[in-house]
Amino acid sequence: MINVAVNGYGTIGKRVADAVAAQPDMKVIGVSKTSVSAEAYVARERGYPLYIADISKKAAFEKAGLEVAGDVEAMIQKADIVVDATPGGVGEKNRPLYERYNKKAIFQGGEKHEVAGFSFNAHANYRDAIGKQFARVVSCNTTGLVRVIHAMDQAFGVEKVRAVMVRRGADPDDVKRGPIDAIVLNPPTIPSHHGPDVQTVLPQIDIVTLAMIVPVTFMHMHAVQMDLKRETTREEVLKLFENHSRIGLVRKVTGIKSNAQLREYTQDLGRPRTDLWENGVFEESVSVMGREFYCFQAIHQEADVIPENVDCIRAMMGTVTDPEESIRMTDRALGLVAIG
């Protein structure tokens, strides 16, 4: 059993904890919170020992009926590996703590590549993570881009990529953020940071990305164009995606043409928290013109990095050395059968 601690039980942390708990070879030995919140009660319901960043707040937690197992340092000492899902920039500050106790740690996409020195995606570079002390699971947008670019590169060779990301403004519970009625160029400069981030996993790829944020809370939408090294057909590309465990096809017959309808679909499918763990590539948008490829894909920002964190744990622990085997184990335990 791999003993996993989740430092930061928020949007990503709570999903990682449930995904880890579902695995046959992993156990959640603790999760951490900074203050009393609804999520802390969920952790109690799930039976995850609750640790707190600031032990002086122990009385406040106990007054709220939440048992505190100890502080974050105590949790880290009990773990074989820590998934750090604290807000962007906090992970960097936590790194010395993991070093002090000689623990492995996985950071999230809100941290810079340099914090771990290695950026991870299960299909692209699982084997390179084996035995590493630190890794970073790239952000939701980058995970979505890497999956589709890597699959296309393996099959046809990718000459260059140009992609536009229409990004959700905030997560559903993030009541303080916007925009409310605007399309914000984010960033206004071109390229956006997403292209260089893809290159932390796929350094050979020529990629330029543009991004803006819009007033939605569920999913990013990517418009992706690639120049391929060899000509292919739409049918070949669809077959490639059908056979990819983390690329799903939003079929024309479903009539789904938006993030909203896709959300309804994942909800109706009974996915936990309506999570779409795979890329949602719109079948109708898949177009091939000679060596040019185009598609739209929906990326559920809260969900696509979750199976990647689970695979990253196995790779870093070195317990499973075959990426496909880990991906299969993760997906089976989650009940991830790609849509389409």
Separation between Cα atoms, residue 335 and residue 272, nearest integer Å: 10
Residue nearest to ligand NAD (CB): 10
DSSP state for residue 139 in the 8-state scheme: P
When the beta carbons of 53 and 124 are compared against ligand NAD, the nearer one is 53
309 lies in the site for ligand NAD, by CB under 6 A? no
Q: How open is the CA angle 236-295-269, to the nearest 5 degrees?
A: 90
110 lies in the site for ligand NAD, by CB under 6 A? yes
Q: Is the CB of residue 256 less than 8 Å from the CB of residue 339?
A: no
71 lies in the site for ligand NAD, by CB under 6 A? no
When the beta carbons of 123 and 167 are compared against ligand NAD, the nearer one is 167
When the beta carbons of 17 and 237 are compared against ligand NAD, the nearer one is 17
Active-site positions?
A: 140
73 lies in the site for ligand NAD, by CB under 6 A? no
Closest of 119, 69, 118, 75 to residue 97, by C-alpha: 75
Strand-pair partners of 105: 82, 134
Instruction: Give me the least distance between CB of 171 and ligand NAD, in Å please.
Output: 5
Site string for ligand NAD, 251-290 (x = CB under 6 A): ----------------------------------------
* 92, 159, 171, 284: residue in contact with ligand NAD (rule CB under 6 A): 171
* 23, 32, 119, 245: residue in contact with ligand NAD (rule CB under 6 A): 32
8 lies in the site for ligand NAD, by CB under 6 A? yes
Size of the site for ligand NAD (CB under 6 A): 27
Amino acid at 256: I
When the beta carbons of 53 and 313 are compared against ligand NAD, the nearer one is 53
10 lies in the site for ligand NAD, by CB under 6 A? yes
Q: Is the CB of residue 275 less than 8 Å from the CB of residue 302?
A: yes
* C-alpha distance from residue 61 to each of 15, 34, 37, 298 (Å): 22, 10, 9, 38
Q: Is the CB of residue 82 less than 8 Å from the CB of residue 108?
A: no
Separation between Cα atoms, residue 226 and residue 241, nearest integer Å: 15
Tokens of 224: 């992706």
When the beta carbons of 68 and 305 are compared against ligand NAD, the nearer one is 305
Give, to the nearest 10 degrees, the angle between helix 11-21 and helix 305-317: 60
Q: Strands, DSSP E only, in the chain?
A: 2-7, 26-33, 50-52, 70-71, 81-84, 104-107, 119-120, 134-137, 158-168, 184-185, 207-214, 220-228, 247-250, 279-282, 287-289, 292-299
121 lies in the site for ligand NAD, by CB under 6 A? no
Instruction: Give me the least distance between CB of 26 and ligand NAD, in Å please.
Output: 19
When the beta carbons of 288 and 313 are compared against ligand NAD, the nearer one is 313
30 lies in the site for ligand NAD, by CB under 6 A? no
86 lies in the site for ligand NAD, by CB under 6 A? yes
Separation between Cα atoms, residue 99 and residue 32, nearest integer Å: 18
* 5, 9, 50, 68: residue in contact with ligand NAD (rule CB under 6 A): 9
DSSP state for residue 230 in the 8-state scheme: S
When the beta carbons of 29 and 286 are compared against ligand NAD, the nearer one is 29
* 197, 275, 302, 311: residue in contact with ligand NAD (rule CB under 6 A): 302
Q: Which of residues 124-143 bind ligand NAD (CB under 6 A)?
A: 139-140
Separation between Cα atoms, residue 269 and residue 177, nearest integer Å: 29
Span from 80-88, 98-106, 154-162, 281-289 in contact with ligand NAD (CB under 6 A): 80-88
* 5, 29, 103, 109: residue in contact with ligand NAD (rule CB under 6 A): 109
Token pair 């040019």 is found at 292
Q: Which residues bind ligand NAD (CB under 6 A)?
A: 7-13, 32-34, 53, 72, 85-88, 90, 108-111, 139-140, 171, 301-302, 305
